[in-house]
Amino acid sequence: MKNLIKISDQKVRTVIGLMSGTSLDGVDAVLLKIKDNGEKTKVEFIDYIEYPFPDGVRKFILKNSSNHASNIEDITILNFLIPHIYFDAIKMLCDKANIDLNEIDLIGTHGQTIQHLPEKKEMFGYEIAATMQIGDPSVLAKLSGIITVGDFRVGDIALGGQGAPLVPYFDFIIFHSEEYNRALLNIGGISNFSILKKDQSIDEVIAFDTGPGNMLIDILMKKFYELNYDEDGKKAFKGKINTDLLKSLIQSDTFIEKAPPKSTGRELYGEEFLAKNLELYKEIANEDWIATVTNFTAYGIYRNYSKYFPELKLDQLIVSGGGAENDFLINSLKEYFGEKIEIIKTDEFGIKSQAKEAICFAVLANETISGNSTNIPKVTGASKKTVLGKICLP
């Protein structure tokens, strides 16, 4: 507690943020200096690593994310195993940055989602929604000797929210400007928007999934080339956009035209989404397919903007996520959004694009020990604002 009070009184803290996402590749670990808290928060990026899971761990997590293959013994073990892997990532990050473990004040860790059930279900007379991120923050605190905050989604779900998205809070405190209307666009597997008008407060942030991010491109890259993704958009640049296919993809879609708030995931933009068009357009060259699907991805993002925010005079579109590295996708976005809207990567604001989510959870941990609420009820649907995360002492 003395440690906790000391650190919560500090003006500047050295913080590590950890994010392991649904791709199950491993953990992103970022090292920051965070000054102040709330809307005064300033983030100084120090270093970042991607730490892959050891062989077999991905499969073990996947097995225990599924209802028919999971069991309580494995889940219990995974909850303790993952923090050991996180700790190895932290040690490697500190080595790389040439900083001692005991110089770190705080860890913020998202954990590994193995179940997310935000829709209420009647159970024994109660209405229960639930979520589970494993990788126990208390285990990490004991292994590292560092105060650790984790399990951020639980509190929002307990108050009737969806437990997601949590990034819009971070987007607002880091990127809100009184000068420019901004939209934050993260292009992961799925794309999502946080809209930050210059005259709005944090309680009025609008955030939602726009539709596919890299997911459809990645599926095709795997299918056509046995590659995981289209590096820098190189394959797309070799192809041509096929307007018939583009129209057909737009017609196949059921999500993009929906009014926000809305969210989607793997279930909608998997192989089945592409199957019918792959059958109909099998004569189209692979490169043309990649170019067209990349353009469709940009279209999905733009369409959400043009259909639902025609009155918003957007000044800047600030892009992060793996998709920010796809130059063909960025070019497509520039064509759709036009010259008046500046497209910038978060890197230009000191927020390394690939590390954005890990940075977000470092900042959320900093908010927790500052006693600040970090859910936005209008975004998650929770009944009220609340301080998220469990505080685990070393």
Q: Which residues bind its own copies (CB under 8 A)?
A: 1-5, 8, 54-57, 60, 64-68, 70-73, 75-77, 79-81, 83-85, 114-115, 117, 121, 123-126, 128-132, 136-139, 141-143, 151, 154-155, 157-159, 368-371, 386-387, 389-394
Residue that is written with structure tokens 């009070």 in the block: 5
Query: Of 152 and 255, which CB lies nearer to its own copies in the complex structure?
Result: 152
State the minimum distance, in angstroms, from the CB of residue 152 to its own copies. 9
State the minimum distance, in angstroms, from the CB of residue 394 to its own copies. 8
Q: Can you tell me the distance from the alpha carbon of 313 to that of 182, in angstroms, rounded to the nearest whole number?
A: 9
Rg (C-alpha) for the chain, rounded Å, is: 21
The tokens of 50 are what? 């991607």
State the minimum distance, in angstroms, from the CB of residue 305 to its own copies. 34
Query: Of 88 and 204, which CB lies nearer to its own copies in the complex structure?
Result: 88
Query: Of 134 and 274, which CB lies nearer to its own copies in the complex structure?
Result: 134
The tokens of 154 are what? 């639980």
State the minimum distance, in angstroms, from the CB of residue 6 to its own copies. 11
Query: Of 55 and 283, which CB lies nearer to its own copies in the complex structure?
Result: 55
State the minimum distance, in angstroms, from the CB of residue 137 to its own copies. 7
Query: Of 126 and 251, which CB lies nearer to its own copies in the complex structure?
Result: 126
State the minimum distance, in angstroms, from the CB of residue 361 to its own copies. 16
Q: Can you tell me the distance from the alpha carbon of 29 to that of 146, in angstroms, rounded to the nearest whole number?
A: 15
Q: How many CA atoms lie within 13 A of 142 on its CB side?
A: 8
Q: Can you tell me the distance from the alpha carbon of 290 to that of 37, in angstroms, rounded to the nearest whole number?
A: 43
Q: Decide: 51 and 42 in contact? Cβ < 8 Å.
A: no
Query: Of 117 and 275, which CB lies nearer to its own copies in the complex structure?
Result: 117
- Which residue, 361, 301, 369, is CA-closest to 336? 301
Query: Of 83 and 323, which CB lies nearer to its own copies in the complex structure?
Result: 83
State the minimum distance, in angstroms, from the CB of residue 59 to its own copies. 11
State the minimum distance, in angstroms, from the CB of residue 3 to its own copies. 8
Query: Of 131 and 194, which CB lies nearer to its own copies in the complex structure?
Result: 131
Cα–Cα separations (whole angstroms), residue 359 to 167, 279, 338: 10, 42, 30
